[in-house]
Chain A
Amino acid sequence: MSITDARDTENSKSDKFYKKFMNSKYIFVCVGVFLFFLIFRFWISQDILSGSDLPYFHKEIINNDFSLYSWSLSRGVGLGEFSASMLWNYVSQVIPSALLLNAGLSWQLSEKLLFFIPFLFLSCLSSFFLLRTFVKNRFFILSGILIYAANTYILTLLSGGQVMIALSYSLLPFAVCLLTKKNFHINLKNILALVIITALIFLLDIRIGYLFSIVFVLYLLVSIDNFLDFKKILKKITALIFVFLLVLLLHSFWILPMIKYQGKSINFGNEYTSAAAINFFSFAKFENTISLLHPNWPENIFGKISFMQVEFLLIPILAYSSLFFLKNLGKNKKKNILFFAFLGLIGSFLAKGSNPPFGFIYIWMFEHIPGFIMFRDSTKFYIFIALSYSILIPFVLYNLSKIVSLHGQKIYKKFSENYALFIVFLIFTIFWLLTIRQAVFGQLGGTFKPTKMPPEYVKLEELLSSQDKFYRTFWIPSIQRFGFYSQNHPAITAKDFYKIYDNNKIISRFNQPENKELLKKISVKYVIIPFDSQEELFLKDRVFDDKQYQDIFSNVKKINWLSEVKGFGKIKILEIKNPKEHFWSPSKNIILSYSYINPTKYRLKVKNAIKGDRIVFSENFDSNWVVKNENQIIRSQQYDKLLNSFKLPKNGDYILDVYYEPQKWVEVGTMISGVTLIAVMFILAFILLKERFRK
C-alpha cells in the first residue's frame, strides 16, 4: 500500500467517525444529557430548591381537601380573599403538590417531580418536535434545544423559582409545532390537540397562554397565502375561534366566577396599572432584548441591571443571518422562517417595555389592549425571542456548515460535510456555554443553590399543627418562605395587612395602642418575628441587615400586651392573651359554636340570641358572604371597616349556614370544564383509534 493510499484509508476512517458521530441517535442523546447535566446538575440534590417565587408547601396546606374553592386563606393572606380568579394556579400547582405531600413524599422530592424534572423533559421534547421540521441534523436540533431550554432568560426565571411560567414555557414549542405543521393544516385532530395544549399552557400560567394567543393570531395572518381567498381565511378564523372557545370552556371553573364577580378580581391598584409602574419595571434595554440577555443576569437581584455583555450581540447576528438562506427553501418553510424572524423582532421590541426606541407604544398597548395589564413586567416577551432564535440559529448553523464544507473542500479535498457539521456544532456549543458560564460554574443563586430547611421552622410547624383550635399568626415584617400556615392557622403578613413596605414604619404602626384589640378581633394568637435564613426579609440596599431584625424584636418585646413564649432559635414568638374565635359576637348573652365544612362554608349554632344582635366572622369583608336561616338570606355587613358581620334575624336558639356565594359559580364552571374535557379527550381518542385501525 502506498503512502497516499494509507492516508486515504485513514481519512475515510476519520470521516466515517464524524459521520457516525453526527448521525448516531445514542451519541445525540449522550451529548444532550451531558450538556444538560453540566447546566442543571445542581438540581440533583436531596436539599430544597428554593427561589423567591417558589413557595414551600407544608402537608397541611389544604387539609386533604382537593376541591376548588372561591375563597382562600392562602400564604400571607390569612384574612382570606376572593380566589376564583387564581384557581388555575391552584389546579396546576397547589393540588398536585398537596397530593404528593399527602402521599408521603417530602417537599424536596415533590418539587423536583412536579416542576424541575418536567421542565427539563418537556422543554427538550417539545423543542425537539418543533425543530425537527426545520433542521435535518440531530446535533443542530440539540443546539436549538440548548438555546430554548438554557438561555439567560429561562435560567433567570428558574433561579427565581418561577417554575409555573417555566413549565408553561416548556410546552409552548409543542403548540407552535401544531400551528406550523403543514402551514396550520386544519383538521379536527390538529385542532383538538391544539385545544388541549393551549388549555394546559393557560392552566400553568395565564400570561404565557396570552402570549401564545398572540403567536397564534400572528401565525394565522402570515400563513394566509392569498388575501383574496376569503373562503380559506374564513376557515382559519373559524378554527381560531373554535380553539379559543373550547379553551374557554375548559377554563370555565375560574373564568365563570371571575366574570360574575369581576369587581373582586380585577382590582389591581395603581402600582399595577399606571404608566409609572411600567417605567419602573422596564429593566431591559433594546440591546439586551435583541441579544436574548436577561437584564438581571446572572445575579437576579430585583432592579439590579447588569452591563451589556458584548458577546451576546453575536446571537442576533447569527439569528438574523437566517434571512440570507431563504432562496432555496420551499414555500411553507420560507414562510415559517420569516415568521420566526418577525416574532423575534416583535419580542425584542416588546420585552424592553417603555424603554427607547418608541417606548410610548408599549405604554399605549398597556393602557388600551385588553389583557396587556398582565405584562407590567415586560420581560415575559423574551419568550418570543427564545422561541424565534431557537429555530433561526440552528437553521443558520446548518447552512453555515454547508458553506464551511464547500470552502473547506477548496482548501483540503478530503474535508467532508461531516467535519464541517462537527466543527460548527462544537464552536457554537462552546460559545453558548460561555454565554451561560455562570450556570455552568455554579454561580447562580435561587433554585440553583440547594438549601436545607432550618430545623427551627420544623419545630414551629410541630408546635402550630399540634393545636386544634382556630387562630391566626401575625408575621412581622412578613412570613418567611418556610413559615407554617394552614386553614386552621392562617398567617397574616404585617406588610400586606398595614400596606406598609418599610420595616421601620411597620414597627411604629404596630406600636400603636389600638393594635391590641384589632389583633384580638382577627383571632391572632401568636406574633412571630421570623428567622431570615434566606436573607430576603431584612434588607438594606439589597443586602441582608441583621440590625433590622434586632430592632424589630427589641421594639416588639417592649409591648406590654404581648408576652414572649419559648421561640425556636432566631424565630421569636410572642403571645396575645384571649384572642377572639373565628366567629364571635360583641353581645355577651350569645353562646356560639361552629363547625368548619370547607373554606366557603360553615355551620353555626346560636344560643340565647336576641333579634338584631351581631355575629362577627373574622375574615376580610366581602358582601358575598351570606347567612342562611330557613328561607331567609342575610348578607354580610362591614364590621370595624375590616371584618364580616351578620345581624341575627330572630330570638332564641337556632342553626345558621354561613357560605360564600361565588362558590356555586365555581361548581357550575367546574362541571362545564369537566364535561368539555371528557368530550375533547373522547373525540381525540376516537380519531386516533380510527386512524390506527385504518393503518
Chain B
Amino acid sequence: MKPQDILYLVVLGFLIYKRNPNLFVWAGIFCFVISIPLFAFWIFFTAEHLVWYGASFILIAVTVFIFGEFKNLSSLKRE
C-alpha cells in the first residue's frame, strides 16, 4: 500500500464519520483539481490514483444522496 492510499483511507474514514455527503463532493472535486498539475508534470501514478479517489468520493456522495431521497420520500409517504 502506497502513502497516497493510506491518506485516502484516512480521509474516507473521516468523511464517513462526518456523514455529510457534501463533504464527499468537496473531497472528490478537490482530488480532481490537484490531479491537474500532477498530470501536467507527468506524475502519472499519483495523478491517476487521485482521479480514482475523486470518483469514489463522488460515487459515495451520489449513493448517499439517492438513498437519502428514498428515505425522505418513504417517511413522507408513511406520515
Contacts and interface: CB of A to CB of B under 8 A. Distances in A.
A528 interface: no
B70 A323 contact: no
Contacts of B63: 342
A103 B28 CA distance: 57
B8 to A, nearest CB: 12
Contacts of B58: 320, 323, 341, 345
A363 to B, nearest CB: 18
> Per DSSP, are chain A's interface residues mostly helix, strand or loop, or mixed?
helix
Contact of A320 (B28, B52, B69): B28
A225 B70 contact: yes
> Per DSSP, are chain B's interface residues mostly helix, strand or loop, or mixed?
helix
Interface in B14-53: 21-22, 25, 28-29, 32-33, 35-36, 39-40, 44, 47-48, 51-52
A338 B65 contact: yes
A76 interface: no
B19 to A, nearest CB: 16
Nearest to A335: B69
Interface residues of B, number: 30
Interface stretch (A141-149, A282-290, A570-578): A282-290
B12 interface: no
Contacts of A26: none
B66 interface: yes
A317 B58 CA distance: 10
A323 B65 CA distance: 9
Interface stretch (A165-173, A226-234, A444-452): A226-234
Interface string B43-79: 0100110011011001101110110011001100100
Interface in A26-51: none
Contacts of B77: 225-226, 229
A342 B66 CA distance: 9
A266 interface: no
A317 B59 contact: no
Contact of B52 (A314, A323, A341, A357): A357
Nearest to B42: A307
Given A287-B51, A323-B58, A317 B73 contact: no
A323 B62 contact: yes
A316 B52 contact: no
Contact of B48 (A287, A316, A349): A287
B49 to A, nearest CB: 9
Interface in A266-325: 285-287, 290, 308, 310, 313-314, 316-317, 320-321, 323-324
Contacts of B52: 286, 356-357
B74 A313 contact: no
A320 B26 CA distance: 10
Contacts of B36: 310, 313-314
A138 to B, nearest CB: 28
B33 A317 contact: yes
A217 interface: no
Interface in A335-361: 335, 338, 341-342, 345, 348-349, 356-357
Given A228-B74, A287-B48, A334-B69, 20 more contacts: A226-B74, A227-B74, A229-B77, A287-B39, A287-B51, A310-B36, A310-B39, A313-B35, A316-B54, A317-B29, A320-B25, A320-B32, A324-B25, A338-B65, A338-B69, A341-B58, A341-B62, A342-B62, A342-B66, A345-B59
28 contacts: A225-B73, A225-B74, A229-B77, A285-B48, A286-B48, A286-B51, A286-B52, A286-B55, A287-B51, A290-B51, A310-B40, A313-B35, A313-B36, A313-B39, A316-B54, A317-B32, A320-B28, A320-B58, A323-B22, A323-B25, A323-B61, A331-B69, A335-B66, A338-B62, A338-B69, A341-B58, A345-B55, A345-B59
Interface of A: 222, 224-229, 285-287, 290, 308, 310, 313-314, 316-317, 320-321, 323-324, 326, 331, 334-335, 338, 341-342, 345, 348-349, 356-357
Closest 9 CB pairs of A and B: A323-B25, A225-B73, A287-B51, A310-B39, A226-B74, A317-B32, A341-B62, A320-B58, A310-B40
